[in-house]
A and B are shown apart, each in its own frame.
Chain A
Amino acid sequence: MMWTVGQVLPPLVKPPLSREQLAEYAEASGDKNPLHLDDAVAQAAGFPSVICHGMISMAFLADYARMIFPEGSYRVVRLKSRFRKVAFPGDQLTCEGKIKTISPEGVIALSMLAKNQRGEVVTEGEAEVVSSES
């Protein structure tokens, strides 16, 4: 596959976030911060309800990077996220991205965004990818 700088990549729509997913992620990751699990705690902190783990949005961007650059053919060597906005159960995130740079050594850098259903950027991401043969 030929990649070009500035190339816009197809989006990935993730399933809507849910309280069940927050509970599953808390169990699977070990992050049981009550902000993600207990409405009363989240409301005391000023949120209308429990908030989603920012790391779930990062995981969505990782999945997106793998969709564009499949395992086996490519290796992800770096992944970075900046958490901009809180997401709540019921929000649905769409990942989108574009090729940012391609180094002479073949390192492909992509910039990514996870946006909610209102088009607001929840998380910004970057990934660096190399061919598995390199």
Chain B
Amino acid sequence: MIGSERVSAFRRAVRAQHEYGMPLTMPTLYRHAEFEWVSKLGLDMTYLLHTEQEYEYLYPLSEDAEVVFRTHVKSFRNRVGMAFVTLETEILTDGRLCVRAITNFVVKTPGAGQK
């Protein structure tokens, strides 16, 4: 459960002036598994660059509901010392898909730029 205090803290942290309910970017709370995937792929987070973020809002996410989330690798490409990773996280409450998050990272891989 997210809880009203956490919502308020998030709203304060992003200095929301016009968002009165749950901030639209609050689903970022459920993206931490994405970093675990980056490690599983053998990539060094020190060289990670977050390039794009997308959210699809399918159903209202309630601060009182129990949240379940699942993350998978949508695509992974290695090209000339850089890894391009797209991860998708689905956030559900009561078995209903509420938010889909799509995250793009670029990670420099060891030996990049060296012969």
A→B interface (CB under 8 Å): 12, 14-15, 21, 24-25, 27-31, 33, 45, 54-56, 58-60, 62-67, 70-71, 75-83
Contact A31 B28, beta carbon cutoff 8 Å: yes
Knowing A66-B18, A71-B21, say if A25 contacts B55 (CB, 8 Å): no
| B1 at the binding interface (Cβ < 8 Å) | no
Contact B24 A62, beta carbon cutoff 8 Å: yes
Partner of A30, one of B14, B15, B32: B32
B→A interface (CB under 8 Å): 6, 9-10, 12-21, 23-25, 28-29, 32, 45-46, 50-58
- Contact residues in A for B21 (Cβ distance below 8 Å): 71
Contact A80 B53, beta carbon cutoff 8 Å: yes
- Contact residues in A for B9 (Cβ distance below 8 Å): 24, 27-28
Contact B29 A30, beta carbon cutoff 8 Å: yes
Partner of B57, one of A21, A54, A55, A77: A77
Contact B54 A78, beta carbon cutoff 8 Å: yes
Partner of B20, one of A25, A71, A75: A71
Contact B19 A80, beta carbon cutoff 8 Å: no
Partner of A62, one of B19, B20, B29, B45: B19
